[in-house]
Amino acid sequence: MALFKRGRLVVVTLSILWAIVIVWEEYLQFAYDGGKCDWPDHKFRPRLEGDETRPQHVLIVADPQILDHRSYPGRGAFLTWLSRIIVDLNLRKNWWVATAKKPDAVVFLGDMMDGGRFDMSDEEYEKYYQRFKSIFKLDANVPQYYIPGNHDTGLGFSQTFSPYTHLRYTTHFGPKNYVVQLANHTLTFIDAPGFVDEEYKRLGESKRYDNWKPLKDGTLEFMKKFKADRHTDPVILFTHVPLYRPDGRGCGPLRERGTIRPGVGNGYQNTLGKQSTQKLLELLEPSLVFSGDDHDYCEHIHRSSTTGSQPGGGPRDVREITVKALSMAMGIRRPGFQLLSLAPLSLRIPTSESLASTVHSHADIPCLLPDQLRTYLSVYIPLGMFSLIALAVSQFISLRPRTNLKHSVDLGRPEYDDGDDSTGGRGTFRLFPANRRPRRDGVDVEEGAPSPAVSISEKNGGATAGYYGGASKYFQKFFAAGRPSSHRRMRPRRRMVGFLLDVRDVAVWPLGLFILITWWFS
């Protein structure tokens, strides 16, 4: 009962409410959304009894693009620092959800660091890179594959780009064009920004592909060598820049807004050129393409006009998936990642001659993550405003009439305790109404009627009460002294202090839980 008498019910209720909201929004919501998608192994042939062969699982991550002090030049230093802290925490939680799928390999589709292309000292770049590695921790036994994005090595020319971007990239992330064999599939990784730069040079010299000499160690040279090797396994292509598509083509129901349109700007290009895309499809003959850069999800079917050398030949439909960015800072509400399952031969080749066709050799599925911006704007801010209003109402607004201290009651207690007592507690309802006074013998007396228990007089601007029948000396002294006018002027200040203390009491447990969850993800 002491809890309710002291007015702590609102504080305790809000503390519990905030704790539940924090645990859900910062932890359980991520686990729940992550549990709604799984590896699409059901599209393959079931494993035979005793067969230990299983599909290989590849986690595909696009545009983590961790921020630095250059990311938001229009913001002040404090807001930039706060943005980096919030986005880094979101990336850690998203990465936790993604790696909980226990992939066999991880592919990063470029733009690992937002400012990786800018001119900076070696020490600053190394610190930047180590921050990236601290966020994306992974078991050393799980291979990680990277391709360069325009924020990693640059695209086009700018005086702000470092002359060492390509060297720094290859030193820290590995080669820019390469091939990996996995589960009887050929995974092909290309340097799309480098391919765009080479396209600019070719067009600047007004040359066609048949009389253009590829740049040494460039993307076109790599693709021609790939063509000469005559790969027979299905080819899956990973590129940072999406392939060309006619303007206005839709991207499917998972797209948040708009579509991918060809365009170019300072340091970026929305898609590869039309001729570059056709050349790429001709040389690599991919059966599936994954791209990044756009940040939002997009599914598009390319019609290749060339005759393929792989089984089936003829013009082919090539499916391209542009993967959602993993970061909340990329202009989308719901970040995401892609799960890719690769079936070995035994899981896609018919086990009996009666089966005329093979099953799929690969399958993929997108996974969506919580809308962190909605959590801040639509949950935390409204709940914070409601909490402040509720605490202010409970502290400042009284629904009871204030009684004059000249009308004191038996044992020296006023009928209504307005919270300005020595304990600093809130006001509470009294048992007796303001116009009645209790007698010691239990008989109520109307206001103004004589009472044998209390005598009232005015002295020195305060209330002086005489007591009979052995009244407490403490209350005699309290009411004899009265409450000076200066004390009454202190009431708003004391209630403001009480309000601030209530805010502290409500916040302490939720903040503690938030810090604990943040530490756990770190």
* % of the chain beyond a pLDDT of 90: 59
Q: Angle 140-63-328 (CA atoms, 0-180°, nearest 5)?
A: 105
Q: What is the pLDDT of residue 478?
A: 43
In a domain, 279, yes or no: yes
Q: Which tokens go with 277?
A: 């895309």
Do 338 and 443 share a structural domain? no
3-state secondary structure of 72: coil
Please provide the DSSP assignment of 27-49 as one string: IIHHHHHHTT----GGGSPPPPT
Tell me the average pLDDT across 156-168: 92
User: Where is pLDDT greater, at 214 or 49?
Assistant: 214
In a domain, 374, yes or no: no
In a domain, 378, yes or no: no
User: Where is pLDDT greater, at 441 or 319?
Assistant: 319
Do 279 and 140 share a structural domain? yes
In a domain, 407, yes or no: yes
When divided into structural domains, the chain yields a total of 2
Do 406 and 342 share a structural domain? no
Q: What is the pLDDT of residue 382?
A: 95
User: Residues 6 or more apart from 190 whose CB is under 8 A from it?
Assistant: 147, 176, 177, 219, 222, 223, 237, 238, 239, 280, 284
Q: What is the pLDDT of residue 349?
A: 64
Domain CATH for 199: 3.60.21
In a domain, 15, yes or no: no
Q: What is the pLDDT of residue 460?
A: 45
Distances (CA, A) of 244 to 3, 33, 250: 67, 32, 13
Q: What is the pLDDT of residue 315?
A: 64
**Mean predicted lDDT score pLDDT of the chain:** 82
Global pTM value? 0.79
Check the CA dihedral 475-480-486-491 and report its sign.
positive
Do 402 and 333 share a structural domain? no
* % of the chain beyond a pLDDT of 70: 76
pLDDT greater than 70 at residue 414: no
Q: What is the pLDDT of residue 7?
A: 55
Do 311 and 401 share a structural domain? no
Q: What is the pLDDT of residue 157?
A: 86
Smallest CA-to-CA distance from 151 within 195, 109, 91, 110 is with: 110
In a domain, 82, yes or no: yes
pLDDT greater than 60 at residue 402: no
Confidence class of residue 246 from pLDDT cuts 50, 70 and 90? confident
Do 457 and 407 share a structural domain? yes
Q: What is the pLDDT of residue 450?
A: 52
Q: What is the pLDDT of residue 191?
A: 97
In a domain, 377, yes or no: no
| Lowest-confidence segment of 83-87, 292-296, 330-334, 457-461 by average pLDDT | 457-461
Q: What is the pLDDT of residue 44?
A: 87
Do 467 and 342 share a structural domain? no
Do 319 and 235 share a structural domain? yes
Tell me the average pLDDT across 116-127: 95
Do 199 and 67 share a structural domain? yes
Do 188 and 101 share a structural domain? yes
Check the CA dihedral 464-469-470-475 and report its sign.
negative
Q: What is the pLDDT of residue 411?
A: 45
Q: What is the pLDDT of residue 194?
A: 95
Do 169 and 74 share a structural domain? yes
Tell me the average pLDDT across 122-141: 95
In a domain, 376, yes or no: no
Do 94 and 171 share a structural domain? yes
Q: What is the pLDDT of residue 466?
A: 44
Domain containing 448 equals 397-487
pLDDT greater than 80 at residue 433: no
pLDDT greater than 90 at residue 105: yes
pLDDT greater than 60 at residue 452: no
Beta partners for 290?
238, 321
